């Protein structure tokens, strides 16, 4: 049995994977290939991947944008939600991560649906604008840039689109105004921006699981008045 709180959270995530989530072979292989390639094991958890899938399906999404690909674990979930006619654009700064991602997308049978672009997201986004409007944007790259990515997402989405931001609670440091951690400052600036942003209706949900204590923001772009 789990000995510590974190082990208990991980055990429940494992149970959820086996009961409700059901990763298939391609998703399991993607996770394994990320570990084998020595990439950081910071992909979304299986139950979070499935949440992205459900949100994208709810949106009847056809155009998705992801910022931060890693090994394409989350990208596979998103691509499956838009198959066979939709498209996913995903931005990744590290060419090694992008190679692992392309291999995983190929094994999952969704390579044709996904455009992996390599570079700093803030430098790629001006070109990505030609593919807008997006139905869902998933922000999951470097955390200090979250406010900038969120402003881009606002620019590139249609009314009723969703903007989802990962890793915004950070072991509770989100509520610490004295934090000097640039990642924490990034997620606090996002929440300051949301306080006075009339174009979205947003909420943030705290989560625990195999990735520890964190959370995600879900912002819905309001219909234009």
The residue among 1 and 61 lying less far from ligand SAH, judged by its C-beta, is 61
Q: How far is the CB of 201 from ligand DHB (least distance, A)?
A: 24
Is 140 a binder of ligand SAH (CB under 6 A)?
yes
Per-residue contact flags (x/-) with Mg ion for residues 136 to 165, judged by CB under 5 A: ----x-------------------------
Q: Tell me which of ligand DHB, ligand SAH, Mg ion, none is bound by residue 97, counting a contact when its beta carbon lies within the kind-specific cut-off of 5 to 8 angstroms.
A: ligand SAH
Using alpha carbons, list the distances in angstroms from residue 133 to 124, 136, 158.
16, 9, 5
Alpha-carbon torsion angle 205, 213, 9, 165, nearest 10: 50
From 129, 127, 154, select the one nearest 139 (Cα to Cα). 154
From 146, 148, 210, select the one nearest 183 (Cα to Cα). 146
Using alpha carbons, list the distances in angstroms from residue 168 to 9, 75, 147, 172, 204.
18, 19, 11, 9, 8
Q: Tell me which of ligand DHB, Mg ion, ligand SAH, none is bound by residue 33, counting a contact when its beta carbon lies within the kind-specific cut-off of 5 to 8 angstroms.
A: none
Token pair of 87, please? 């498209």
Q: Tell me which of Mg ion, ligand SAH, ligand DHB, none is bound by residue 45, counting a contact when its beta carbon lies within the kind-specific cut-off of 5 to 8 angstroms.
A: none
Phi, psi of 198, deg, nearest 5: -75, -10
The residue among 167 and 204 lying less far from Mg ion, judged by its C-beta, is 167
Q: Considering only residues 33, 166, 169, 174, which one is a binding residue for ligand DHB as defined by CB under 6 A?
A: 166
Cβ-count burial 185-197 (b if 16+ within 10 Å, e if not) = bbbbebbebbeeb
Using alpha carbons, list the distances in angstroms from residue 80 to 9, 18, 24, 53.
27, 19, 12, 7
Pair type for strands 212-221 and 200-209: antiparallel
Phi, psi of 110, deg, nearest 5: -120, 15
Is 207 a binder of ligand SAH (CB under 6 A)?
no
Q: Tell me which of Mg ion, ligand SAH, ligand DHB, none is bound by residue 165, counting a contact when its beta carbon lies within the kind-specific cut-off of 5 to 8 angstroms.
A: none
Q: Considering only residues 142, 148, 181, 197, which one is a binding residue for ligand SAH as defined by CB under 6 A?
A: 142
Q: Tell me which of ligand SAH, Mg ion, ligand DHB, none is bound by residue 11, counting a contact when its beta carbon lies within the kind-specific cut-off of 5 to 8 angstroms.
A: none
Dist. CA 174–CA 168, nearest whole Å:
7
Residues 18-47 that bind ligand SAH (CB under 6 A): 42-44
Is 42 a binder of ligand DHB (CB under 6 A)?
yes
Report the interface residues with ligand DHB, using CB under 6 A.
42, 140, 166-167
Report the interface residues with ligand SAH, using CB under 6 A.
42-44, 68-70, 73-74, 91-94, 97, 120-121, 140-142
């Amino acid at each position: 049995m789990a000995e510590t709180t974190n082990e208990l959270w991980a055990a429940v995530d494992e149970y959820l994977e086996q009961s409700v989530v059901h990763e298939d072979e391609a998703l399991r292989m993607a996770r394994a290939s990320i570990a084998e390639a020595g990439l950081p094991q910071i992909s979304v958890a299986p139950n979070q991947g499935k949440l992205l899938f459900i949100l994208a399906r709810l949106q009847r999404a056809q155009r998705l944008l992801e910022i931060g690909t890693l090994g394409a674990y989350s990208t596979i979930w998103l691509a499956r939600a838009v198959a066979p006619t939709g498209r996913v654009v995903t931005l990744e700064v590290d060419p090694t991560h992008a190679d692992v991602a392309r291999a995983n997308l190929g094994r999952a049978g969704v390579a044709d649906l996904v455009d992996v672009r390599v570079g700093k997201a803030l430098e790629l986004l001006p070109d990505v604008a030609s593919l807008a409007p997006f139905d869902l944007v998933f922000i999951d790259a470097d955390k200090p840039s979250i406010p900038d990515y969120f402003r881009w997402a606002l620019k590139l989405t249609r009314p009723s689109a969703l903007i989802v931001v990962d890793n915004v609670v950070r072991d509770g440091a989100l509520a610490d105004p004295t934090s000097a951690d640039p990642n924490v400052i990034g997620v606090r600036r996002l929440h300051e921006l949301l306080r006075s942003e009339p174009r979205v209706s947003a909420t943030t949900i705290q989560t625990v699981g195999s990735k520890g204590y964190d959370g995600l923001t879900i912002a819905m772009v309001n219909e234009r008045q």
